[in-house]
């Protein structure tokens, strides 16, 4: 664990992973609330919104994980170039 990562766990600085995780949580909660509200307002679209909600419950975390993984790979390559 690097010194920078230790700082993020102590609470002095928020890491990119934490920001992405928070964005994912906000997206999922907003999606669930929207689905619930639309189920009360428009009953004909509630089935489609429920399926969208189920799909997004799986897809959003996977996409965010892929984004974090790519970000870390790019960051590692940049650090390796800077060392050379």
Give tens-digit pLDDT for 55-71.
988 999 999 999 999 98
Q: Which two tokens stand for residue 1?
A: 């664990």
In this structure, are residues 39 and 46 in contact, taking their beta carbons and an 8 Å threshold? yes
d(CA 68, CA 81): 20
Full residue range of the structural domain in which residue 37 is found: 14-79
Number of domains the chain is built from: 1
- pLDDT for residue 63: 92
Q: Which of 62, 72, 58 is nearest to 16 (CA)?
A: 72
pLDDT of 9 higher than 70:
no
Q: Which of 56, 55, 39, 58 is nearest to 47 (CA)?
A: 39
Average pLDDT along the chain:
82
**Average pLDDT, stretch 18-38?**
88
In this structure, are residues 8 and 15 in contact, taking their beta carbons and an 8 Å threshold? yes
Percent of the chain whose pLDDT exceeds 90: 25
Q: Which of 75, 57, 58 is nearest to 17 (CA)?
A: 75
């Amino acid at each position: 664990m690097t010194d920078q990562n230790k700082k993020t766990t102590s609470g002095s600085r928020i890491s990119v992973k934490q920001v992405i995780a928070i964005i994912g949580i906000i997206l999922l909660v907003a999606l669930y609330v929207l689905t619930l509200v639309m189920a009360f307002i428009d009953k004909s679209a509630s089935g489609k919104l429920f399926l969208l909600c189920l799909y997004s419950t799986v897809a959003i975390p996977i996409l965010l994980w892929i984004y974090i993984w790519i970000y870390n790979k790019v960051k590692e390559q940049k650090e390796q170039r800077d060392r050379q």
